[in-house]
Structure 1
């Protein structure tokens, strides 16, 4: 196994998204269930691109009635994302709607054990962790986590199924460095969040993942080889 990008948005490159054919794999987030339906015929048999069924919290105000479409597609994939909650200032007015849909999604995922779920948790991690700790049947990957570090570490102590995905931009901030330094290496996987990070706006290639691992090794004061082996092992464990 090479490296896996557990969170990216290929469709937002407007069909200019190219992946080098070097054995790496991606988890392709969708922001609405209708987009999953659009891309599913193309990717349903792919061994390198895993299509995730999503319902982005920032879109729930504009698209409030898509849960039934989400539900009818859930059996088609192990991967769910991007889902979650966003309680930032611009999304506060839709938070109760978001929470209702998030809980419905979690209920449905727990009827179908073994889902790998990428979660958006901006300014809403306290509610997110209540749900994750009470629903321990799936793998939960907190995407670009910026919440309270103690709450994350406490959640990881309670549930072995909680991970974070780290992108290159996170390695350049103090908060990101503190997070990476504190989280056990066996709970870290990679993401690009392409095209929303500095490097991925310009390009998408395998080197972004390699550069991210190099920065994690620097922060962890570990060797590149050891960090690479561990992150590959984490990815393999999640996919089992």
Structure 2
């Protein structure tokens, strides 16, 4: 997310996980990200969506596009794995990928694991990838795959909407993972307690829009400013300072290695 343009006009906010192509006004949201200077990672759910997303964001100063194969779609889209692998050399950002052991998706879990391991190993072979990862009810297995297949010096992982245990969070941090936080995570006392203990230098913000809504309206990337304010209050840090820390964390993430 660093280019000559963003050097001249640095981001004010970070939305590291947003489904821009699921908004009705996709192009307008990209323009909004640029206008409000929100460094936004546009995740995709299938490899077939990646090229069009990248075309729409090709002139954006602040939007980057990730190549994804969502675990919830594996039952129907596993056949797109060869396309994913063919596109991967041209994609620095990868996501949404991961594991989902929730009741609706548990039947496909063995196939999810197979695909997730293939993706991790391909990312490790190519190096330099930045991954945003889904981990519903599957954190121990997911971290095991990351530990086995993706050395820290070959890729970086951001755990999107992480809801694991404190022990799992510590294990993830020890593996070098980052955590992207959205406003819904801060509504639950249990998750607020978890977020309050995460390493400050591993925090990013996200919306997961348009799935997260405010009063029935899909959240948009600039709304991460409110998440920063809530997160700052939780961590007893001045909001401006926390905002600068999150920008610094993003820079460290994208310039490492």
The answer to whether 1:15 aligns with 2:62 is no
Q: Which residue of 1 aligns with 2:61?
A: 47
Q: Is the 8 A contact 1:52 1:82 kept in 2?
A: yes
Q: Is the 8 A contact 1:117 1:138 kept in 2?
A: yes
Q: Is the 8 A contact 1:194 1:201 kept in 2?
A: no
The answer to whether 1:71 aligns with 2:85 is yes
Could you tell me how far apart the structure 2 residues matched to 1:8 and 1:201 are? 17
Give the deviation of 1:222 after TM superposition: 1.5
Cα RMSD (Å): 1.7
Give the deviation of 1:155 after TM superposition: 2.6
The answer to whether 1:60 aligns with 2:70 is no
Give the deviation of 1:103 after TM superposition: 0.4
The answer to whether 1:152 aligns with 2:162 is no
Give the deviation of 1:202 after TM superposition: 1.6
Distance verdict in 2 for CA 1:13–1:42, change over 3 Å: closer
Q: How does 1:56-205 map to 2 (within 5 A)?
A: 56-134=70-148, 135=150, 136=152, 137-157=154-174, 159-160=175-176, 162-199=177-214, 202-205=217-220
Moved over 6 A (4+): none
Mean Cα displacement is larger for which, 93-102 or 142-151? 142-151
Q: Is the 8 A contact 1:192 1:200 kept in 2?
A: no
Distance verdict in 2 for CA 1:53–1:215, change over 3 Å: same
Could you tell me how far apart the structure 1 residues matched to 2:189 and 2:58 are? 39
Distance verdict in 2 for CA 1:201–1:115, change over 3 Å: farther
Q: 2:224 aligns with which of 209, 220, 238?
A: 209
- Structure 2 unaligned runs (5+)? 1-9
**Which is richer in strand?**
2
SS at match of 2:79: coil
User: TM-score scaled to structure 1, two decimals?
Assistant: 0.93
Distance verdict in 2 for CA 1:103–1:113, change over 3 Å: same
Mean Cα displacement is larger for which, 95-104 or 205-214? 205-214
1:54-78 C-alpha deviation (Å, 9 max, x unpaired): 0000001011211100011111121
Could you tell me how far apart the structure 1 residues matched to 2:156 and 2:213 are? 28
User: TM-score scaled to structure 2, two decimals?
Assistant: 0.87
SS at match of 1:65: helix
Could you tell me how far apart the structure 1 residues matched to 2:50 and 2:76 are? 18
1:187-208 C-alpha deviation (Å, 9 max, x unpaired): 1101000011123952544541
Q: Is the 8 A contact 2:212 2:219 kept in 1?
A: no
